[in-house]
Structure 1
Amino acid sequence: MTTHTHPHARPGPLSGPAEPAEALLVRLARLRERIAVLVDRRAAGDPTAEDPLRGLYLSEEAVRRYLAAPAGPVPAGVSEGEAPPDERDAGQVARLGLGELDTAILFLALAPDVDRSFEPLYGYLNDDVGRRRATVGLALDLCGVPAHRPGARARFHAGAPLTARGLLVVEEPERPFLTRSLRVPDRVVAHLLGDDTPDPDLAPHLHPLPPAPHGGPNPDDPDDPGGEAEFASFTGRLAAHLARPGPGTVYLRERREGEGAACAAAALRAAGFGALRFDGPDEQAAALVREARLGGHALLVAPLPADPGPLLRELTAAPDVPVLLADPRPYDPHWCSRDPLVLDAPHRRTGTLPAWSAALTAPADGRTGAPAEVPGFDLAATVAPYRLGGERLERAARAARDLAAFDGMPLTPGHVRLAARRQSASGLEKHARRIRPDVDWSDLVLPAAPLTQLHELALRARHRERVLGDWRLSAGGGRGRGVLGLFAGESGTGKTLSAEVVAAELGLDLYVVQLSSVVDKYVGETEKNLERIFTEADRTDAVLLFDEADAVFGKRSEVKDSHDRYANMESAYLLQRLESFDGIALLTTNLRANIDEAFTRRLDLVVDFPFPDAGQRLALWRHGLERVPTAEGTHAGLAPLAREFELAGGSIRSAVVTAAYLAAGRDGVVTPADLLEGARREYRKAGRLVPGEGSW
């Protein structure tokens, strides 16, 4: 075989091999052979084959040839799998809810889409060679129904079964009624030919159901800590409802994102339904309902769009299709005129230890693979702060195993925490600054009392579901299961650092609320901004920090003018919102007395950060110099420095940084003189008299 090279082709490796091009040429040659066979077969016996006006008109002789021609063999070269599949059974037509006349209209309308020989026949019968589809009048004639009967004409109205269910489109509304063309959507034709591939416009918005959990508490256990017994009872009743004829639409209000979808998925599995999970725009609602009817599926929509009214009106108008909706918002009767069955999805503990353990040890390569090794660390303590469930837990487990495989090491708590944090990515960054904690308990230099309280705060965050939920120690009244703490102390005593350490201990990100993005001069806007923050924090596994919280959580005052009244309204809103908060929030203040007592009562812990004494200041100086190169004898001189200069931890760190820059500027190491200069500068910044100026 001779290979021809383009005259401008570049020689060498860039020109590439010739085999793919040759294979493509062979394919095209075979296609030409098939086209030639098909042309010869259709031209055989055609009296108009040599007519130069062929295609512009149809003679009676040509029409009779079309009618008499038997179905010919498939042209040579058609590979297996390309032959049209067998026709579906009558049960599928019955599922579409069509009568005998509607079924006949449907099939004669789709005939040209399946067999092109119907096109010229329809053109002849329509007295117009250019109109190659069935028309309303032609369909009625072929069905033997007089065109003047109102019932027959009503089969093509917008509310008729064929058109209302998206099975038939009556086109060209500007033409007289009987000459309007009929078209069957491609998706319906494909379904009747055996193709169950979803509509391409719907496919990006269709997702699999949330997976059944790998593991969980035994629903028959009377001490079931995860709410599994209640969940199983509810889903059983919901499955029985769905199994009834015409169950209609069910609205599940969920307390936490994903609870309603998980409940709906469990009920659909128990009822034996196939289901389509949809999260697209309401413009595709009609196509979605049609897809459900074609496949005999139920529908699960979660979450709902911002304005669910148009979607609900379309879905509730199809009582023959089981529809399940899940959303955190309460159902609004204004959304549609046909109210669905409104239910509260049962609260179910997410992120339980059995679920995490099963997900992390599930086969890495599918159901038939070998289970992964059991984690060799305290998994319960690692996953306790996370409230992931369902799909997000499964994805976090897979991501953790992938991270461990990438590092070439066994699974560690760090892998699990990193993967879980990524599943908790939220919109909080619009209102708060995210900090990825890079500290631990060794970075804190505090007295025993506040240090013990910080450990207790982390313990509360880990075990709140058990204490407040399983042991039912929540106070009721719609109160949430959040953890709230107040850090009070002078500036620089370690409040923000302690918040970061607590977040690091829990394996969570720390979000520092930017007060500039919260406080607004317009009435009511501050509350709206805070509500966005609290709502996002409720659904996110993170620690929320309100730094300088007295700017927002200040004391209410006597109402003397409108400003006092609106300021008190903000405080009242915050008091109510903290009651229902489910996340972890920490507040810091320099003046504890400025915090309203009503806020203090709602706090789990109030941690006082005292000003460090001489011993603690010495420990802070030593901690700050741990990684800093120092001159010989520098550490020995820290005691008098700590004794003479009364500096908080933040100021001591700033003094060490100043000394380090002085040493780096002369390309040397930190000396006692550098540290003295750093301490003096901190005193001068604060406007204080420098002790022993020039004598130390």
Structure 2
Amino acid sequence: MTPHVPGTVAAAPVPTEVVPAEAADALLPRLSRLRERVALLVEQRSATDPTATDPLRGLYLSEEAVRHLLEPAGPGPGPQEDRGPERGDRLDLLAGRLGLTELDVRILLIALAPDLERTFEPLYGYLNDDVGRRRATTGLALDLCGLPAHQAAARARFHPSAPLSTLSLVVVEEPERPFLSRSLRVPDRLVAHLLGDDTLDAALGGHVRRLRAPVRGERYDKAFLLRLADRLTRVPLPVYLREHRAGDGLACAAAALRRTGRDPLHFTPGGTPVQEPIAELLREARLRDCAIVVSPLPEDPAPLMRALAVEDVAVLFSDPRPYDPHWCDHRDPLVLDAPRLRSGAVEAWATALGEEPSTEARPWAGPADDAVPEPERTAGTVPLPDSSPGFEPSPGFEPPPGFDLAPVVAPYRLGGDRIVRAARAAQNLAAFDGGALTAAHLRLAARQQSASGLERHARRIRPDVGWDDLVLPDKPLLQLHELALRARHRDRVLGEWRLSAGGGRGRGVLGLFAGDSGTGKTLSAEVVAAELGLDLYVVQLSSIVDKYVGETEKNLERIFTEADRTDAVLLFDEADSVFGKRSEVKDAHDRYANMESSYLLQRLESFDGIALLTTNLRANIDEAFTRRLDLVVDFPFPDADQRLALWRHALTHVPRADGIDPRAVARDFELAGGSIRSAVVTAAYTAAGRDAEVTTADLLEGARREYRKAGRLVPGEGTW
């Protein structure tokens, strides 16, 4: 009867890469030699066994069989001769990689045989003296290896701390049975691997993804990655990467492991530590010769970190929290700060979009970049599901006329697979609109990749305005352009050019907008956010101010922490209530108010985001805050010419009657931009009510309404 050796596990999905037959065929000579030893052991036992020809052998014990069992047992086959590995034998490659002894390999093959050839099942049933026990037992494995069952060193190969058990290669089942009659089982995943099928273990579904290889042009600290890659190659000790921003650690790990030639497995914990498939995860990493990257960590990472504290698999943990020594028992990981991803990785965006950039030099220019090839995948393995949807760069990407990629992507601090995902989303948006890719598509896609939890504490505004909507004098307008410039190039100036003041100071951009109500402060913040392609979050004071001591600071810390990791513009409207001057301490209220201000002063030093403050009275802002600001923009009250420009701008989209002229209204009514807009809205409602166009009289009535709201004397009406 010709043995049947399947090429793949029957229940596994169809692999995407066909496995060469050599992986399975290489096991056939080993099985043939094992069959010879099984036959020899059967012959030895049947020669003296009076029940050898009994068809009911193994189901009952006759008197003759009992007398036979009382006689001393004869010796089994001698020690097995090792003929060396077969070509393409995965079993031998695995043994060499995991440090298994020859005895371990033999035991593994004995336990594996019934899963490869059905003819071993009845033979094992005969040798186990029980037709229902068709797997190898510990006693049978020792007999086939020619080892006495009473030898402690031989029995130790089945101990829970022995390699076969700790590496999850062989499972010793039925612990309630006597030691020599316990069954040996090889996990299906290992059987599939030895036969050449590398479909991911079903127990890891939903937990493990393959990290995307870094996009060429992503900007990392090259020296740091080289040192980390060397460390992981020489000593695969655990590494803890503390992230400054979500995604930094994953991107750093993927880039470093790429240089080692190892394919990283991204493990995302899901359930309780008891439910985590730790054994399956470690076995998968050993079978594939991969590293493990764990991110994000659970709330209590101690059980997980202790379970993954192994010496033969490189494990990298990534989390924004500082490392706590209590998370590990005695073997602390190598604790490192993950390098910050720099904004404005133009080449990475261009690569993801399929465009060849015109830059003269890459951030990683040099032979070392091209000398490290992509890790070669073992023939026949099935790729793991990627952490992001598949993306195929568009080779025909042609930027439209006037489209400059650099200033569009400069504000975004995306890394890892987020650039690729944003590029794909932008192309999908362009395809949906039926036109060419534009800056608006890229900005919208990038904002979607920077999901924020700020909405719990702030009101999000998606900017829909531009510079044309601002009517300001030249000086504040130039300062606003400078503010946007600082936001784009802060990583280069403060990071690469090392102009940060040190002392743990961040790379944030802070601006103060001071001026009377309605002079355009909030609108200017929205325009700056629109210029940068970022969302604007207006902090709700009601969500942060708390009557209990210390709670206001906690709420502010949540906002600043979330803003640090989000590409967004933070706006503190009417900032006097939070950033006001410190006063002399006369009672407990003054003391705690000063504590809030002191906390804010410290927190602004380490802030990495973009924050704008608005105030009607600049003198109310503490001077210590002013020193930490990058720009203070004063918004003057508009003169007659600017008021006329504001009236005309507000009437741009409003149906107007012939001969309408806002000159007189702009000259006679001293209104700020916000009040002028309210007056135009009032005039528009009046015209809509009579189903007509807006007239000069409507504008005049709207201006009078604004004067009355402010309690001011209306020109021409006298005292009222």
Fold equivalence (TM over 0.5): yes
Q: Does 1:518 align with 2:508?
A: no
1:592 to 614, 618, 625: 618
CA apart distance, 1:106: 2.8
Amino acid in structure 2 at the alignment position of 1:373: E
Q: Does 1:261 align with 2:250?
A: yes
Q: Does 1:286 align with 2:279?
A: yes
CA apart distance, 1:137: 4.2
Is the 8 Å Cα contact of residues 87 and 193 (structure 1) preserved in structure 2?
A: no
SS at match of 2:55: helix
2:55 to 57, 61, 78: 61
Deviation string, structure 1 residues 585-626 (Cα, Å, up to 9, x no partner): 101122222222111110011112222233322222222111
Structure 2 partner of 1:329: 321
CA apart distance, 1:140: 4.1
Structure 1 partner of 2:47: none
Q: Does 1:235 align with 2:222?
A: no
Distance 1:129 1:207, change over 3 A: same
2:236 to 243, 247, 250: 247
Deviation string, structure 1 residues 480-523 (Cα, Å, up to 9, x no partner): 11110011122222111110011111111111112222222333
Q: Does 1:382 align with 2:438?
A: no
Q: Does 1:539 align with 2:565?
A: yes
CA apart distance, 1:424: 1.7
Distance 1:619 1:417 in 2: 31
Distance 1:340 1:430 in 2: 35
Is the 8 Å Cα contact of residues 343 and 491 (structure 2) preserved in structure 1?
A: no
Deviation string, structure 1 residues 200-242 (Cα, Å, up to 9, x no partner): 23243333334233236xxxxxxxxx6x6xx333322333323
Amino acid in structure 2 at the alignment position of 1:627: H
Distance 1:214 1:496 in 2: 39
Amino acid in structure 1 at the alignment position of 2:315: V
Deviation string, structure 1 residues 328-353 (Cα, Å, up to 9, x no partner): 33322111121122233344534323
CA apart distance, 1:118: 4.2
Is the 8 Å Cα contact of residues 209 and 265 (structure 2) preserved in structure 1?
A: yes
Is the 8 Å Cα contact of residues 135 and 179 (structure 1) preserved in structure 2?
A: yes
Is the 8 Å Cα contact of residues 297 and 321 (structure 1) preserved in structure 2?
A: yes
Q: Does 1:691 align with 2:681?
A: no
Is the 8 Å Cα contact of residues 357 and 374 (structure 1) preserved in structure 2?
A: no
1:424 to 450, 474, 497: 450
My pick for the range that moved more, 510-519 or 321-330, is 321-330
Structure 2 partner of 1:319: 311
Distance 2:108 2:190 in 1: 10
Is the 8 Å Cα contact of residues 63 and 121 (structure 1) preserved in structure 2?
A: no
SS at match of 1:61: coil
Deviation string, structure 1 residues 90-148 (Cα, Å, up to 9, x no partner): 12233233223333333333334334454455455555555444444444444454444
Distance 1:184 1:559, change over 3 A: farther
Is the 8 Å Cα contact of residues 351 and 389 (structure 1) preserved in structure 2?
A: no
Q: Does 1:345 align with 2:338?
A: yes
Distance 2:654 2:112 in 1: 82
CA apart distance, 1:169: 2.7
SS at match of 1:453: helix
Structure 1 partner of 2:33: none
Distance 2:576 2:126 in 1: 85
CA apart distance, 1:149: 4.4
Structure 2 partner of 1:49: none
Structure 1 partner of 2:72: none
Structure 1 partner of 2:605: 579
Matches within 5 A, 1:159-308: 159-215=161-217, 231-244=221-234, 246-281=235-270, 283-308=276-301
Is the 8 Å Cα contact of residues 91 and 194 (structure 2) preserved in structure 1?
A: no
Q: Does 1:444 align with 2:438?
A: no
CA apart distance, 1:646: 2.8
% identical equivalent positions? 72
Distance 2:57 2:176 in 1: 29
Amino acid in structure 2 at the alignment position of 1:340: P
CA apart distance, 1:374: 4.6
Structure 1 partner of 2:398: 373
Amino acid in structure 2 at the alignment position of 1:243: T
Amino acid in structure 2 at the alignment position of 1:197: T
Amino acid in structure 2 at the alignment position of 1:183: R
SS at match of 1:204: coil
Distance 1:58 1:260, change over 3 A: farther
Structure 2 partner of 1:35: none
Distance 1:154 1:528 in 2: 56
Structure 2 partner of 1:51: none
My pick for the range that moved more, 676-685 or 190-199, is 676-685
My pick for the range that moved more, 254-263 or 471-480, is 254-263
Deviation string, structure 1 residues 48-69 (Cα, Å, up to 9, x no partner): xxxxxxxxx99833779xxxxx
Unpaired stretches in structure 1, ≥5 consecutive residues:
1-56, 65-84, 217-225
Distance 2:591 2:173 in 1: 63
Unpaired stretches in structure 2, ≥5 consecutive residues:
1-50, 59-86, 357-389
1:668 to 686, 692, 705: 692
2:516 to 460, 485, 490: 490
Instruction: Please report the TM-score for the alignment, with normalisation by the length of structure 2.
Output: 0.77
Amino acid in structure 2 at the alignment position of 1:158: P
Amino acid in structure 1 at the alignment position of 2:663: A
Amino acid in structure 1 at the alignment position of 2:397: A
Distance 1:375 1:278, change over 3 A: farther
Instruction: Please report the TM-score for the alignment, with normalisation by the length of structure 1.
Output: 0.80
Amino acid in structure 1 at the alignment position of 2:265: L
Is the 8 Å Cα contact of residues 341 and 415 (structure 2) preserved in structure 1?
A: no
Distance 1:96 1:472, change over 3 A: closer
Q: Does 1:682 align with 2:706?
A: yes
Amino acid in structure 2 at the alignment position of 1:321: V
Distance 2:245 2:400 in 1: 28
Deviation string, structure 1 residues 241-292 (Cα, Å, up to 9, x no partner): 2332x43222233434333333333332222223322223452332211111
Distance 2:436 2:267 in 1: 38
Distance 1:419 1:389 in 2: 14
Matches within 5 A, 1:488-637: 488-634=514-660, 636=661
Deviation string, structure 1 residues 270-322 (Cα, Å, up to 9, x no partner): 22223322223452332211111112222223443333222221222x11112
SS at match of 1:273: coil
RMSD: 3.0
Structure 1 partner of 2:422: 396
Amino acid in structure 1 at the alignment position of 2:709: K
Deviation string, structure 1 residues 350-387 (Cα, Å, up to 9, x no partner): 43233333333349x98897442255322222222222
Amino acid in structure 1 at the alignment position of 2:635: F
Distance 1:130 1:399, change over 3 A: same
Q: Does 1:94 align with 2:96?
A: yes
Is the 8 Å Cα contact of residues 87 and 194 (structure 1) preserved in structure 2?
A: no
Distance 1:59 1:630, change over 3 A: farther
2:480 to 454, 462, 475: 454
Distance 1:566 1:248 in 2: 47
Q: Does 1:359 align with 2:385?
A: no
Matches within 5 A, 1:19-98: 60-61=54-55, 88-98=90-100
Distance 1:372 1:577, change over 3 A: same
My pick for the range that moved more, 452-461 or 279-288, is 279-288
Deviation string, structure 1 residues 654-692 (Cα, Å, up to 9, x no partner): 221122112212222222333233223323333334332
Structure 1 partner of 2:66: none
Distance 2:470 2:618 in 1: 21
